[in-house]
Chain A
């Protein structure tokens, strides 16, 4: 079954924006295993650039990154592509942080550390094609 879904998702591109290379590797490994095409950005500016250039189906956005942080990057992307699904994946997981992220326009929030199934589920939910 994983294989099947992997095949089904191959056309779906997911952008992982995270400055931590361990996190990058983990997400890439897990989402590719799940059949997604994974793009990587190591800071905010890079994330904006890739998002606007490659138009991924969804973006998994870390917050604490050098240069512009994830929130700022998300705002810039949403300004260009208002319906771009973005999930904030942050180790900032206090209640106040969650509200802050949602208020800034996040479509969902994934708290670090996360269960791998949660990662896959949230990506699947936001990349699900309408009517499927």
Chain B
């Protein structure tokens, strides 16, 4: 284009022969333009052509005039101008291009950043120091469930769960002041639909933003999947922890149900137990977050009985596998649909509590979120259900054991029967209060003294009854009664029943001994026994008495008839007459003697009867027994064959007694001594004081009493008739009467004898203290 203009100008100049000075401005303008707008070569070419155009007329004319020189100068000016202008332009152009390129590069870089940010797998955003969202990436929009526009009108704190808002405010404040450059946390963000999402958030201050203002870069990662897995794991851990630390299901249930809700993010958890009587599921325990609507749901549940196969719970019971209702409003057979709706509950999951393959209960959890029930949750709940079932069984067994233990303890402590626990070695391990009270011992004394005594007494009594010793244990209800002294000095009859308690291997581990105080029963038995015994002996006595009476009658009638034989016979002789006078006198003597004998017999019998029946009283006076003995010797002194000797203690105190009766005793014994000394001999009467008694002896050197008769001399009609004594008369009642009289005075009588050597009858009479003094005074 410049070349054409320059060519046109040359043509015109040549044609019109215009002076170069005149066309020079034209050329200048053209080359300037070329230099401005054309490339280097074009610009220089245009300048050269323009220079030629100016010089052309001069070259053509060969003119070397001054004009020509001026014109050459003009041409040079053209070229120089072009060169200068071109260089200036070129520089300008170069600068402009560099600037432009740089601008393009910046623009491309920003685009790349934007794409990178958008495509990042984490949520990224810029926020103002106050927290307002400046820029957000798509991922963040997804995490927060909100559109970009929506977000850009909000602040970070607006999408943060309430309980995390303070933390965010504080973090931003610190970042603003430069106290920290970076803040990291796990918080919950609120999604557009109102649900909460757990995120890992990092906020860092960014100082070199082109705007020059302080901005903050926010990075968020959705950790709900990790959180859910953590929740499942922590939930199971919490279940196990609760199970381990609790003793009973009742104790564990609230904690366990609330832990499940907390870790798995549910609002309600209920334990439904299988009621085997009703054949239905009944709500046993429940937990729910605060709220009256949930409270009402719980109350509704409480009234329900769910049959196998009915609704969500019934199905779980029937099948034994977990089941879920992700949308309760769509469920047709959910039993508490209305109440659930009222409480805002939207999803439910239920899992069986299993024990040895049997469903013993169902745990149901509900939430107000529309929850997607994942497989791993189902797996976790199945595991938990199994472990809970085992725990419930263990807890119930343990509780039954504890209850049994408590019962036994109560029985042991409060039983009115004494109970002792004895080791297999016989050591007392424990004694209940009743036993200690019964035996009036404290436990140490009981263990160290009373129990070993009791054990010995038991074994002795058992041996007598042909029973095993105590440590062998007696389990078939056999008891042994022993006599035992108490700490208080009483004597009791105790009934002991021993029972072996085997250990798990069946060996006797210890022995339980029941101790009953049967003193009252036993004494009653003994009294009854005594009564029966005395009844029996009374019967025997009666029989004996009857026999004795018959025997007595027989003996008495014999004695009387014997005496009457003489009386009757000789009376008849006298009556029939024809007797000599001396015959009559002799026979009259016989008759008199026998009649006298009969009379004495009757008198003795009556005396004896009065004494034996207790109707005879003794008239007590002071009796000097030595005087009685001396009188007896004086009276009997006439005996031709027997010598009398007295060996009397002069200091013998007087006795209190019936003088006439004592005279009767002494004369009877003296008469006997004389009678049974038919060949003469010595009869000795002695007296002395011995231990508060006067001891009187009548000793003869006569025929003596045979050993087989000595035991009977004091019995009635037991006259010694054998041998040399056979013809000695007597009523046969004398010694019986003597014995009665002595005993009525509180004394005793006995006899020593040897056949052929004589007999010694001894009797005692008690001395009276006042008489002792009296006598001493008299002798003083």
Contact = CB atoms under 8 A, between A and B. Distances in A.
Say whether A and B bind each other. yes
Given A25-B590, A42-B727, A93-B557, A116 B573 contact: yes
Given A43-B726, A66-B726, A92-B554, A26 B562 contact: no
A8 interface: no
Contact of A67 (B564, B572, B726): B726
A88 to B, nearest CB: 13
A71 B595 CA distance: 28
Interface in B513-567: 554, 557-562, 564-567
10 contacts: A22-B594, A25-B590, A26-B570, A26-B590, A65-B726, A66-B721, A66-B725, A91-B560, A91-B561, A92-B554
A39 B593 CA distance: 24
Given A30-B569, A66-B721, A19 B726 contact: yes
Q: Can you list the 4 inter-chain pairs with the closest CB atoms, starting with the nearest?
A: A66-B726, A91-B561, A22-B566, A113-B568
B722 interface: yes
A26 B723 CA distance: 24
A93 B561 contact: yes
A64 B561 CA distance: 12
Most chain A CB atoms below 10 A, which of B560, B565, B566, B593: B565
A47 B116 CA distance: 166
Contacts of B566: 20, 22-23, 26
Nearest to A22: B566
Contacts of A114: 565, 568-569
Nearest to B591: A22
Contacts of A67: 722, 726
Contacts of B722: 66-67
B727 A22 contact: no
B290 to A, nearest CB: 115
A113 B564 contact: yes
A26 B579 CA distance: 13
Contacts of A90: 558
Given A66-B721, A67-B726, A91 B565 contact: yes
Interface residues of B, number: 26
Interface string A8-40: 000000000001111101100110000000000
Interface string A112-130: 1111100000000000000
Contact of B569 (A66, A91, A113): A113
A4 interface: no
A64 B558 contact: yes
B562 A112 contact: yes
Nearest to B560: A91
Interface residues of A, number: 26
A42 B722 CA distance: 12
A115 B572 CA distance: 8
A113 B569 CA distance: 7
Nearest to B720: A66
Contacts of B559: 91
A116 B569 contact: yes
Interface in A39-98: 42-43, 64-67, 90-94
Contacts of A66: 721-723, 725-727
B573 A30 contact: yes
Given A23-B566, A29-B573, A30-B573, A113 B561 contact: yes
Given A112-B562, A113-B567, A116-B572, A19 B727 contact: yes
A92 B573 contact: no
A21 B594 contact: no
A82 to B, nearest CB: 29
Nearest to A21: B727
B574 to A, nearest CB: 11
Nearest to A25: B590
A64 B732 CA distance: 14
A94 B722 CA distance: 25
Contacts of A116: 569, 572-573, 576
Interface in B447-465: none
B590 A22 contact: yes
A112 B565 contact: yes
A71 to B, nearest CB: 14
Contacts of A93: 557, 561
A112 B722 CA distance: 23
A20 B562 contact: yes
A30 B593 CA distance: 20
A94 B554 contact: yes
Contact of A23 (B562, B593, B726): B562
Nearest to A89: B565
A67 B721 CA distance: 8
A114 B721 CA distance: 25
A26 B558 contact: no
Contact of B558 (A19, A23, A29, A91): A91
Contacts of B558: 64, 90-92
A42 B727 CA distance: 9
B554 A113 contact: no
Contacts of A42: 726-727
A20 B594 CA distance: 11
A91 B727 contact: no
Contacts of B723: 66
A6 B721 CA distance: 36
Contacts of B568: 113-115
Contacts of A91: 557-562, 565
A21 B567 CA distance: 13
A19 B564 CA distance: 15
A85 to B, nearest CB: 21
A48 to B, nearest CB: 16
A26 B589 CA distance: 13
Most chain B CB atoms below 10 A, which of A22, A92, A116: A22
A68 B574 CA distance: 34
B565 A113 contact: yes
Interface string B691-734: 00000000000000000000000000000011101110000000
Given A91-B557, A92-B554, 8 more contacts: A19-B727, A20-B562, A20-B566, A23-B562, A26-B565, A26-B573, A66-B722, A114-B565
A30 B559 CA distance: 22
A19 B727 CA distance: 7
Most chain A CB atoms below 10 A, which of B566, B570, B590: B566
A93 B557 CA distance: 9
A10 B721 CA distance: 34
Contact of B565 (A19, A22, A94): A22
B310 to A, nearest CB: 105
Contacts of B576: 116
Nearest to A116: B572
Nearest to A91: B561
Nearest to A90: B558
A83 B749 CA distance: 51
Nearest to B590: A22
Contacts of A43: 726
Contact of B561 (A19, A21, A30, A112): A112
A5 to B, nearest CB: 15
A86 to B, nearest CB: 18
A112 B572 CA distance: 14
A67 B727 CA distance: 11
Nearest to B561: A91
A116 B561 CA distance: 15
Contact of A26 (B557, B569, B593): B569
